[in-house]
Amino acid sequence: MKILKFFAVFITLLLLSSCEEPIVYKESEKEIDIIEINDVTNFTTDRQGDYLVFNLMDPVAEKGYIQEFNSNGEIIKRYEISDRLFAPSNIYFFQNKYYFASSGYSGDSKIMSYNPNNSKISFINTGQNDFVERFYMDDDSKFIMTNMDKNLDNKFCKIGPNKCIEFPENYRIHDITILEGAPIVVGIVKDAQENSEDILKIRKYNEDLEIIDEVNLNQYPNYFSFTGKNNKLYLFMYSGDIVEISSDLKVSTFSSDFTAIMDDIVNIEFKKNLMLENGDLLINIVLNTIDQKLNFIVKVSFSTGSPQMEIIENTANQNLLNVDYDANEFYTASYKEDKNVISIWDSKTLKIKNKFMLDSTYSVYLVDKIN
């Protein structure tokens, strides 16, 4: 199946991107309140603004920031956070909360949690000494994947009973999820050759973390995966294939064709993805050739049983951040004149509603609409 062949849409994307109005940084008309926070769990806001923008602490920086803006892009308050636990992270959204797995930078195995309903930050104790790279939970269980050690080994652990499993010595754990209540672990053969029959080993476990099924795949996956509302895991391969895995480990592979957009593609990076309320997926995609790369966002729909993909206009060099389901918005970040630009999108129409520019180059990780 050919998922994408949209040359005309791609041309439109470039034209619209090049014709955008310039973005002007808006200085606040009054003095900005600066609040210093040593313990990030003490963060609180009286919600005078409309948006909170999270600049997690860079590894070499002394502070991270939460900045409060109004809808005109004017900064109201800046919270300067010196707590090392406020660190760069993969961000997960479960049960109306955001979870930050940032142990590799924070130096702590706890999971940071942010509740957008009350703007409070708290932590989950994983009970592990190893740093955490991935986190996944459902109504009944919480699971983590630890960072790789010097031997490229890592673990998959169930929080609560603190029970962990490891793959054999020649495998490392790449990803974790839960399908129909069953933990699923994706592992990669460390020394696998291209087109080997067992580059990937996907295992299904019971609630006691005993293996009950296994299947092998012969492609390398990108870092980011997706677990859909249909209780299926989607792996995005460097070849451009999308691999669908059901709870019984049935595997379906869907090929994509980007040759109408770019010739001589070496590999395809499926980077961060966000699920919209209707179950559709937004994905940052990077097409790489030997001497150039192209970055844009696509929408993938699974409603027909097989993935259908289309390019979203005005998304060249935009990086996905997060979705606000209550506000029907999603957010992207880009750079202009060495400053961060936040774009606010309507998640129904997939059109930009507003933009504002930050007065810094610190990486943006999360935007929360508070009013």
pLDDT of residue 15: 35
Q: Are 176 and 187 in contact (CB under 8 A)?
A: no
pLDDT digits (tens, 9 = 90+) for 147-190: 888 778 899 999 999 999 988 788 899 999 999 999 999 999 88
| Across 226-235, 252-261, 264-273, 342-351, least confident range | 252-261
**Greater pLDDT, 49 or 17:** 49
CATH class, range 167-255:
mainly beta
C-alpha distance from residue 222 to each of 103, 114, 302 (Å): 21, 27, 19
In this structure, what token pair is assigned to residue 197?
A: 């029959």
Q: Residue 95 above 70 pLDDT?
A: yes
Q: Which amino acid is at 70?
A: N
**What is the C-alpha separation between 175 and 200, in angstroms, rounded?**
11
pLDDT of residue 12: 33
pLDDT digits (tens, 9 = 90+) for 338-371: 888 999 999 999 999 999 988 777 889 999 999 9
pLDDT of residue 143: 96
pLDDT digits (tens, 9 = 90+) for 37-82: 999 999 999 999 999 999 999 888 899 999 999 988 889 999 999 9
**What is the C-alpha separation between 100 and 155, in angstroms, rounded?**
18
β-bridge mates for residue 275, sequence order? 281
Alpha carbon distance, N-terminus to C-terminus of the chain: 44
3-state secondary structure of 8: helix
* Contacting residues for 18 by C-beta, under 8 A, at least 6 apart: none
* Sequence ranges of the domains in the chain: 167-255, 261-362
Find where tokens 């480990």 sit. 249
